[in-house]
Chains A and B, each alone.
Chain A
Amino acid sequence: MRLELQKRPERSALYALLSPFIAIALTVAFGAVLFAFLGKDPVEALYVYFISPLTSTWSLHELAVKAAPLILIGVGLSVCYLSSNWNIGAEGQLVMGAIVGSTLPIVFPDFQSPVVLPLMMIMGMAGGAAYGAIPAFLKTRFGTNEILTSLMLVYVAQLFVDWLVRGPWRNPEGFNFPESRTFHDYAILPEVLASGRTHYGAVFALVAVVALAILLSRTLKGFEIRIAGQAPRAGRFGGFSASRMTFFAFLLSGALAGLAGISEVSGAVQQLRPVVSPGYGFTAIIVAFLGRLNPIGVLFAGLLLGLSYLGGEEAQIVLGLSDKITRVFQGMLLFFVLACDTLILYRIRLVRTRGAVAVAGE
């Protein structure tokens, strides 16, 4: 007997819905095995990972802080990927948004007024969008590969912010350490509730999820986005411009990444540092796919990934598990998600072969 993959005549709607859950179930099962091998009680370990972070107000806030940028960037990237625009450079757009948005409190610290914060947010979005426009322009004008250009621009942005905080934007009172001055009160994104650290970045993320869910499912633009990805030739016959779509996708995802960047800097960190993000722009790619490029799915995927970070820390402290186990665990989750996607396009059949006896004997 052997397993055989047989291509389905069309995508299975059932498995499209079920596969993330099968993946999570498999991750939990294999995670339990992993923990058992490490000599930890699997039930307790899984509890620490997935449940205990949800049991206190404090960690729920922390989850929102961690997941918000992932979701914000992830929904933008979904639009890109649905329309076959492979923006890998959200991290760079995030950094550029953070830089442009931070100009006001760093370069003009004396300009203190309630309009500073909204301006910073708009500038952050503009910065991210403008930076996203570069690979879009290169792709539409010269046919360059946007995967490469957007990725390489990440390093440019990271080195640029590094240079800024070591040089012209260095805090004059900071003993020459590489960081900007801390933001004044008008430049700090406030917390939403008094009970914890969740700032308005989480609200932006929710708004983006709802707006893009409507855009994708209810508008002509949403149809155009999907056509651009699935049947570009048909789209062209229908009068949709491929290059305008490329710009739309990059500007939108760039703006959202930029907003995530300035929200993170202004809400959570409150100054510009050499490293703006611990890789949110890259993790968001995973979040986008984990959420099946659907804004509501991305919301849950972002929360799940955020949870796995928080649970990982909790596991380090409570169980004494190494940080590397967290990574292995996340890796397993992704592996199973991708593997289970096979079920959408293929069915698994058990095939009885003639050499069954011989095979069994081996």
Chain B
Amino acid sequence: MKSRIMGLALAAVFASVSGAQAADKLKACFVYVGSKTDGGWTQAHDIGRLEVEQALGDKVETQYVENIPEGADAERAIERFARSGCGIVFTTSFGFMDPTIKIAKKYPDVKFEHATGYKTAENVTSYNSRFYEGRYIIGQIAAKMSKTGVAGYIASFPIPEVVQGINAFLLGAQSVNPDFKLKVVWVNSWFDAGKEADAAKALIDQGVDILTQHTDSTAPMQLAAERGIHAFGQASDMIAAGPNTQLTAIVDTWGAYYIKRIEAVLDGTWQTQSSWDGLKDGILTMAAYTNMPDDVKAMAEATEAKIKSGELHPFAGPITKQDGTEWLKAGEVADDGTLLGMNFYVQGVDDKLPQ
């Protein structure tokens, strides 16, 4: 008992010391799974963090740790922030979900936001981006631009988010060319330039003339440039890696979301939620449409506008599954629950989904 009182007294002293320094500045902290200069996923989050600093200036201070492996290390990194006075902690990898929930229980006064998961709690929000909306658009572009009618898809892990992307891409392509085909190579990594380049080579050798990727390095873009075909960037605008190659890129723009949520903490309106924003909310944006004829560009812009207005939903029936069974009837639209657990292909994917 005595030691506990001592501990409390000490804690009070420390709290008053750090409190004096930070005045009423909110500390927003970010846990990254990769390096903040990876050119893809983590970099996009870090750009968001910098936008927060710029937009909110004196009201907020940000901190981050990078290259945190999923597992026991993640729990430590998250708790380190929670106990060091962060008001809100963003954990930006799917594998941080359970550690986030666990630590959140111990620190009820700290707000947590976990990216791309599905668990929430009193003080934990989950947030994600409807990447598949961008996939639908690039699928349409691919079908217009491809001569062989086959695109190559470099995929990371067979999780629902990635499967959604593959299906949305193909549905977009089929809306232009019903016979469009898609070949998929799984590299089982989010970031591995060597493997991604190998996958790109293999796909091109099999006759695809458009590449798209759900991995984070610019290697496929560079390889496409070398072989003289077109490709799409991922997570960050990759135009620098392929000035004559990139058609557009699906760019993650987390900044707007981060600013919104941190402001909510500042004015005391933060509440737990499951947030799944899309193109219309600005959480993802399409990089400039380049290296394509004007009519293709016009189509892409029209589709983008329709998705934003809600007129077009990429997963609207009729849609048939790969095995030939009907998934959605005409007029039906997929509900979010099904999308979040998506583990099947639609018709036309030339691959067997790893189970």
Can you name the residue of chain A whose Cβ is closest to the Cβ of B159?
A177
Contacts of B94 in A (CB 8 A): 177
CB contacts (< 8 Å) of B63 on chain A: these are 317
Give residues of chain A (52-73) contacting chain B, Cβ–Cβ below 8 Å.
58, 62, 65-66
Q: Are B66 and A323 in contact (CB under 8 A)?
A: yes
Query: Does A118 interact with chain B (Cβ within 8 Å)?
Result: no
User: What chain B residues lie within 8 Å of A314 (beta carbons)?
Assistant: 80
Interface residues of B in 42-80 (CB under 8 A from A): 63-73, 75-77, 79-80
**Would A178 and B159 count as touching, CB distance under 8 A?**
yes
Please measure, in the bound complex, the distance between the C-alpha atom of A322 and the C-alpha atom of B36, giving whole angstroms: 9
Q: Would you call B80 and A317 a contact (CB within 8 A)?
A: yes
**Chain A residues within 8 Å of B117, by CB:** 177
Q: Do A176 and B69 touch across chains, with their CB atoms under 8 A apart?
A: no
Q: Interface with B: A88-96, A241-249, A266-274, which one?
A: A266-274
Interface residues on B, range: 35 or more
B83→A58 contact, CB < 8 A: yes
B65 touches A313 (CB 8 A): yes
Q: Which size bracket describes the interface of A in this complex?
A: 20 to 34
**Residues from chain A with Cβ under 8 Å of B243 in the complex:** none
Q: When chains A and B are docked, how far (Å) is the Cα of A264 from the Cα of B117?
A: 23
Taking the complex as formed, is A277 at the interface, i.e. its CB lies under 8 A from any CB of chain B? yes
Residue A109 lies at the interface, judged by CB distance under 8 Å to chain B: no
B159/A278 in contact, CB under 8 A = no
Whether A65 pairs with B70 at a CB distance below 8 angstroms is no
Which positions 7-64 of chain A face chain B at CB distance < 8 Å?
Answer: 58, 62
The proximity string for A residues 316-349 relative to B, scoring 1 for CB distances below 8 Å and 0 otherwise, is 1100001110000000000000000000000000
Q: Contacts of A58 on B, CB cut-off 8 Å?
A: 79, 83
Any chain A CB within 8 A of the CB of B310? no
Which residue of chain B has its CB nearest to the CB of A271? B98
Q: By the criterion CB–CB under 8 Å, are A313 and B157 in contact?
A: no
**B-contacting residues, A129-181, CB 8 Å:** 162, 166-167, 175-178
Q: How far is the CA of A168 from the CA of B170 in the complex (A)?
A: 28
| CB of A275 within 8 Å of the partner chain | yes
Q: Which residue of B lies closest to A61 (CB)?
A: B76
Contact, CB under 8 Å: A177 / B67 = no
- Of the stretches B249-257, B313-321, B322-330, B337-345, the one at the interface is B337-345
Asked whether A175 and B72 contact (CB < 8 A) given A273-B95, A313-B80, the answer is: no
Tell me, rounded to whole Å, the shortest Cβ–Cβ distance linking B25 to chain A: 16
Contacts A58-B83, A166-B354, A313-B80; A177 near B160 (Cβ below 8 A) = yes
Most chain B CB within 10 A, of A167, A176, A178, A316, is at A176
Closest to B76 in A: A62
What is the CA–CA distance of A322 and B80 in the complex, to the nearest angstrom?
17
Q: Beyond A65-B72, A322-B66, list 12 extra A-B contacts (CB 8 Å).
A: A66-B76, A176-B160, A197-B75, A264-B71, A268-B71, A269-B72, A278-B69, A313-B65, A313-B80, A316-B64, A317-B65, A317-B80
Residues on B facing A (Cβ under 8 Å): 35, 63-73, 75-77, 79-81, 83-84, 94-95, 98, 117-118, 157-160, 188, 340-343, 354-355
- Can you give 29 A-B contacts (C-beta < 8 A)? A58-B79, A62-B76, A65-B72, A166-B158, A175-B340, A175-B341, A176-B341, A176-B343, A177-B94, A177-B117, A177-B118, A177-B159, A178-B157, A197-B75, A264-B72, A268-B71, A269-B71, A269-B72, A273-B95, A275-B70, A278-B69, A313-B68, A313-B80, A314-B80, A316-B64, A316-B66, A317-B63, A317-B64, A323-B35
